[in-house]
Chains A and B, each alone.
Chain A
Amino acid sequence: MSEATTSRTTAPGSDRSMIEIDHLNKWYGSFHVLRDINLTVARGERIVICGPSGSGKSTMIRCINHLEEHQQGSIVVNGVPMTNDVKRIEQIRRNVGMVFQHFNLFPHLSVLENCCLSQIWVQKKPRAEAEKTAMEYLERVQIADQALKYPGQLSGGQQQRVAIARALCMRPEVMLFDEPTSALDPEMIKEVLDVMVELAHEGMTMLCVTHEMGFAKTVADRVIFMDQGQIIEEAPPNEFFNNPRSERTQLFLSQILGH
């Protein structure tokens, strides 16, 4: 009953796609968690991935920067194919930023140090330059005045904004968001979504796993619905929300848009 509407269109004006996932299959032991995933993401495209819990959405985006290993299929990020070779993996990770549901800021470092850490040790920048870049991005997410505070002293929304700035400091070409607002109090969701919307408007390639359908409607180029490890439906937002073709998608939307 699965409708394999896998569109492989690339956005106009780009010469090469940013991410190419081809026949991706993953097992956790004997559990087949990702089943034949095919997805192409063009440069500057914004993809929102939604679906019931356990559908494999987080697993799929975590495969893109090798936080999860895949057993079959191929992933190519910006022309670099993903293998099990550490050097290759680190090369891809330098270009892919990730924002986690539970922020994962480093609690023993200040906000500024959190943002500088990878610049200094991976990009080998001198400290002054790293701090300058860090302050630039901290200002963009409007948290520059908290630069010397520690993550434990910040609210959830502030921490998540710092996490976004930290990922951006590496100047990645792709940003992955794994349910970035799911652990936030409702009044803080907006400040994080605002940052993400601004990022989208600046042309960042984004893959976002989220339940925030308002965000999807505003910003997404494509919305993908996943269930049981497969991509069930994939369409631009107006088509996806107004005219879902699969029954499963319709059921899911009725549940999630109900309140």
Chain B
Amino acid sequence: MTTNSTFRTEMIEAREAPNQSRGVLGWLRANLFNGPINSIVSVVVIVLLARLVWPFLEWAVIEADFLGTTRQDCTGDGACWVFISARFETIVYGFYPEALRWRVDIVFALLAILVAWLAVPKTPRKKWVALFTLVGFPIIAYFLLVGGYFGLQHVPTRAWGGLMLTLTIAVVGIVGSLPLGIILALGRRSKMPFVKGICVIFIEFWRGVPLITVLFMASVMLPLFVPGNFDFDKLLRALIGIMFFWSAYMAEVIRSGLQAIGKGQNEAGQALGLSYWHRTGLIILPQALKLVIPGIVNTFIALFKDTSLVLIIGLFDLLAIIRAGLTDSNWLGFSTEGYVFAAAVFWVFCFSMSRYSQYIERRLNTGHKR
């Protein structure tokens, strides 16, 4: 039939895709072996991984010793995790008095429950829990950890250490820097010269000095400026310094999100008669924060890892406690195990934050399809 126009009379029914493009085989074919060069590279990488990963697994897991109390229990050729398990209490609680460690346990457990409640999607009364986490929990945690009231014995902050100290600094830093960062970002974009000036100065100052300098100055120099015998707790100084430092970074991350929101959103809010704070809180910030979740979580992860810097002012976080353990004459020569363990702990926390943020991004993706 020779015509120069077409006209379909019957629609084609959908059919199943051919087998080779589905399933595991299909994935392998499409991603790893979809061409000669790619196939060769895939083979090389697989061999490399095998040569690197297998020996590591042998050392770390298969031939390692996990339980025991002294170095005599390290009989195998592999890692001697006994170093970690024997000193586990110190690593987690630092120098917190043994009899009072139940207080730390309560705080840990409470934090875990609250975080889980907020993180899991369908739990009820999230707003109340969030309020409690931001207001009630810090107060409870303070009284439990520091003590001195309600019949609880006082524990000075220099006795805190290990994982407990790392988590305290990280949580305070994260929870403090985000709201402060938001306010600074909004202030920097303000048209009022005084507000804008203060925010710019704050951000540029705290971003311009290294964190280690901040901690050092806070620890050594602050007492010189403070009148009289007012003794500012060392940990408190570190917490404030860390919070201010990271809020400056956070402010810039959030500001980039605010800038990305089109002018029309604000104008629509204005046209509806909404005030500045209503527009910012209900329209602009929800969109801006959602947009910069990668940047925010990036900052949180960096904050978490930088808590190790408190070593410089004599506070014993997780890494410092492990290092202190290495100088113990009973446990010489196990630095590899110590550092691998520290790295693993950091990695678990940071990776969890990263995965959760990707989960949040996927869940919040409803609004972004334009």
Real binding pair: yes
Q: Is B270 an interface residue (CB 8 A)?
A: yes
**Contact at B272–A104, with CB atoms within 8 Å?**
no
Q: What is the bound-complex CA distance between A67 and B367, given in angstroms?
A: 26
Contact (Cβ within 8 A) B290 A122: no
Chain A residues with CB under 8 Å of B287's CB are: 106-108
Which of chain B's residues have a CB closer than 8 A to the CB of A102?
Answer: 264
CB of B274 within 8 A of CB of A108, answer no
Contact of A108 among B264, B271, B272, B286 (CB under 8 A): B286
A170→B278 CA distance, assembly (Å): 16
Chain A residue nearest to B286 (CB atoms) is A108
Closest to A119 in B: B272
Judge whether B275 is part of the interface by a CB distance below 8 angstroms.
yes
With both beta carbons as reference points, the residue of chain A lying nearest to B290 in the complex is identified as A108
Provide the A58-78 mask, 1 if CB < 8 A to any CB of B, else 0.
Answer: 000000011100000000000
Say yes or no for A222: interface residue by CB 8 A criterion: no
CA gap between A104 and B270 in the complex, in Å: 11
Q: Which size class do B's interface residues fall under?
A: 20 to 34
Are A118 and B368 also in contact (CB < 8 A) when A102-B264, A106-B283 are? no
Specify which of A66, A152, A167 is in contact with B272 (CB 8 Å cutoff).
A167
Whether B273 sits at the interface, judged by CB under 8 Å, is yes
Do A107 and B368 touch (CB < 8 A)?
A: yes
Q: Which residues of B, 328-370, contact A by the 8 Å Cβ criterion? A: 366-370
Contact between A104 and B273 (Cβ–Cβ < 8 Å)? Answer: no
Taking the nearest CB of chain B, how far is it from the CB of A11, in angstroms?
25
Determine if B116 is an interface residue (Cβ-Cβ < 8 Å). Answer: no
Q: Mark B261-273, 1 if CB is under 8 A from A, else 0.
A: 0101101101111
The residue in chain A whose Cβ has the minimal distance to the Cβ of B281 is A121
Residue of A100, A117, A150, A163 near B367 (CB, 8 A) is A150
- Is A106 a contact of B275 with CB atoms below 8 Å? no
Cβ contacts under 8 Å, A117 to chain B: 272, 274, 282-283
How far is the CB of A153 from the nearest CB of chain B, in Å?
A: 7
Cβ contact of A118, chosen from B274, B366, B370, cutoff 8 A: B274
Check A122 against B278 for contact (C-beta < 8 Å).
Answer: yes
Residue in contact with A100 in the complex, picked from B268, B275, B370, CB distance below 8 Å = B268
CB distance from A16 to the nearest CB of B (A): 22
Contacts of B282 in A (CB 8 A): 117, 121
A93 and B271 contact, CB distance less than 8 A: yes
B370–A107 contact, CB under 8 A? yes
Please determine whether B369 and A152 come into contact, CB atoms closer than 8 angstroms: yes
| Distance in Å: Cβ of B39 to nearest Cβ of chain A | 40
B275 and A97 form a contact (CB under 8 A): no
In the complex, which residues of chain B have a beta carbon less than 8 angstroms from the beta carbon of A118? 272-274
Q: Take A104-B265, A104-B267, A153-B369 as given contacts and tell me if A94 and B273 are in contact as well, using a CB distance cutoff of 8 Å.
A: yes
**Whole-angstrom CA separation of A256 from B274 in the bound complex:** 37
- Complex Cα distance, B272 from A93, in Å, reads 6
CB of A26 within 8 A of chain B? no
Within 8 A of A (CB), among B274-316: 274-275, 278, 282-283, 286-287, 290
Nearest chain-B residue to A93 (Cβ)?
B273
CB <8 Å contact, A152 and B271:
no
* Pair A152/B367 contact, Cβ less than 8 Å: yes
Option from B264, B271, B275, B366 in Cβ contact (under 8 Å) with A65: B271
Within 8 A of A (CB), among B221-269: 262, 264-265, 267-268
Interchain residue pairs with CB less than 8 A apart (15): A65-B270, A90-B273, A98-B268, A100-B267, A100-B268, A100-B271, A104-B262, A105-B268, A107-B368, A108-B366, A118-B272, A121-B274, A122-B273, A150-B367, A166-B272
Apart from A104-B262, A117-B282, A118-B274, list 17 A-B contacts with CB within 8 A.
A67-B271, A90-B275, A93-B272, A94-B273, A96-B271, A100-B271, A104-B268, A108-B290, A108-B367, A109-B367, A118-B273, A121-B274, A121-B282, A122-B272, A122-B275, A152-B369, A167-B272
